[in-house]
Chain A
Amino acid sequence: MDKLRGATAIVGAFDTEVGKRPDATSTHLCLEAVKGAVEDAGMKISDVEGLITCNSQVTPVTYHAELIAEALGIEPKMCLSVSTGGGTTVATVAHAAASISTGMCKNVVIVKGDNLATGFTKDQALASMASVGHPQFEQPYGAPVPAFYALVAQAHMHAYGTTSEQMARVAVSAHYHASLHPGAHKREVLTVDDVLSSKMIADPLHLYDCSLVSDGGAALVMTSSDAAKDRPKKPIYLLGFGEGHRNEHISQARSFTESGAVESGESAFKMSKMTPEDVDVASLYDCFTPVVLIELEDLGFCPKGESGQFVEDGSIDLGGKIPVNTHGGLLSHCHPGNPGSMFHVTELVKQLRNECGERQVKDASVGLAHLQGGILSSHGTLLLGGEETI
């Protein structure tokens, strides 16, 4: 793994317009994202050698990466479709780094896009929501997705005295950051009271503790560190990654207050030779507010059980100790399903390139993304940095 530290870099990153995109299918969003990312990397679509995608939830197909390659009019050396929900983004970056370092391909484009907001019929949306959980041992109890995470929130409150106000503070921070992002799906600033007075979905989670449903896509272009130096934009190097997989189903979790982020974080920090104190800006998967709290603790940004106070003190806001989700995250920037976590990484790339304007973290040099899929199931952590970090 040490061999991969600094061996590859992200040289292109692009977000499509997000929010409601009735003009675009999921394939269209993927193509738009690839085109943008390849241009950002100063390359041509015909240069792409490896293509990694994640299947669409709205229009799933058997050979997704191949479908996108065909639509782009390319014949890649490698096509791979990966599916670990939000964690897919970390898995794909790691696979891309390994593929490039072993010489399987010179470059890899990672793309994910979907149109959850406008592409689903009402019945499809219901069926999609009902398909979460074990078909025999969980689905018959009719837990809507927020209820799965409410189980986690309730356990954290019980164990550590975390409050609804503290969870709401995570949403407040995300919405504030999104208000500074011209492309965010929701740009209204919220207060803690706004969150607490929104309707209760599953105790203790209110509507604004839950993320959005959006359309959108994003893509990354990776290549070797040597080749990266010839690209027009500042290369952002992959310093480390790690995964953690404790359980698939929430009912089988050995802890409801600690997650596989512990293992994925440890691996990623070890490989990158970094510590939480070195991180200038973080993107933490935020499908529901309590997830951010658990990640802050499991990754070592604050001691176990103290994340509530940590966010209440403003630590995750721009200007705070560790600014989190400066784009607004899934809570306020956009959440098109599995592709949602791509924006956590494209935002880090923009932060480390100093391209974020009003929401720029000053002198950001090391970025961390922690992304997860399922119900706290598949965890992945990435550490990225500029040339000065390798």
Chain B
Amino acid sequence: MTSLPQKPVPMPTPDTKEFWDGCSQGILRIQKCEDCSSHVFFPTLVCQECHSDRLTWVSSSGLGEIKTFTVVRRAVGAFAPDAPYTIAIVALDEGPQLMTYIVDHKESDVAIGKRVAVAFERRMDSYLPVFKLV
């Protein structure tokens, strides 16, 4: 066996620092457009709806629903020992979507359309947003 590389941790950039700082404080922060009120994620410089550059950071409700998911049975590298684990795309109630883990669940309970709430999982010095069924 070759030694397993470490799992990647997010390396914040000036554009994303606010998001990751929020995760460390247990708050899911996303951007909101001051002109059209759309919420935006990934962090960016212009609103993806109206292309205004007047974006501010707000706290998300942290609630949303599962758009789609998969259970990873064969993982690679540092993730191999974790399998099986559930990866999902969650749509927040504010609109934006993110990739995440669904944690603390029975496999058979996960389904498209199920409601979820954010939690944060520590990895090294970072905190990743993950979601639990509600």
Residues of A within 8 A of B (CB): 122-123, 126-127, 129-130, 133-144, 146-147, 150-155, 158, 199-205, 249-253, 256
Contact = CB atoms under 8 A, between A and B. Distances in A.
By CB atoms of chain B within 10 A, which of A141, A151, A200, A202 has the most? A141
B74 A256 contact: no
Given A130-B8, A251-B98, A140 B128 contact: yes
Nearest to A142: B79
Contact of A141 (B20, B78, B97, B128): B128
B119 to A, nearest CB: 14
A130 B126 CA distance: 19
Given A138-B99, A142-B79, A155-B112, A150 B11 contact: no
A144 B9 contact: no
B10 A147 contact: no
Interface string B67-95: 11111111111110010010111000000
B14 interface: no
B125 to A, nearest CB: 13
Contact of A154 (B2, B69, B97, B101): B69
Contacts of B85: 142
Question: Contact residue range for chain B?
Answer: 35 or more
A139 B8 CA distance: 7
Contacts of A250: 89, 99
Contacts of B9: 140
B77 to A, nearest CB: 5
Nearest to A136: B10
A199 B67 CA distance: 25
A144 B76 contact: yes
B11 A135 contact: yes
Nearest to B128: A140
A195 B34 CA distance: 51
A150 B70 contact: yes
7 contacts: A136-B11, A137-B42, A140-B9, A142-B85, A154-B68, A203-B73, A250-B89
A81 B123 CA distance: 38
A347 to B, nearest CB: 30
B42 A142 contact: no
B16 interface: yes
Contacts of A137: 10, 42, 98-99
A17 to B, nearest CB: 29
Given A155-B67, A200-B74, 10 more contacts: A130-B77, A134-B99, A136-B11, A136-B20, A137-B10, A142-B77, A142-B85, A151-B70, A158-B68, A250-B99
B89 A251 contact: yes
A252 B68 contact: no
A140 B8 contact: yes
Contacts of B76: 126, 129-130, 142, 144
A199 B7 contact: no
A227 B113 CA distance: 57
B22 interface: no
A32 B85 CA distance: 44
Nearest to B130: A141
A203 B71 contact: yes
B42 A147 contact: no
Nearest to A156: B68
A202 B70 contact: yes
Contact of A142 (B69, B75, B89): B75
B75 to A, nearest CB: 6
Contact of A126 (B5, B88, B101, B128): B5
A155 B126 CA distance: 30
A137 to B, nearest CB: 6
B123 A140 contact: yes
Nearest to A144: B76
A122 B2 contact: yes
Given A158-B112, A256-B89, A144 B72 contact: yes
B75 A252 contact: no
Nearest to A251: B99
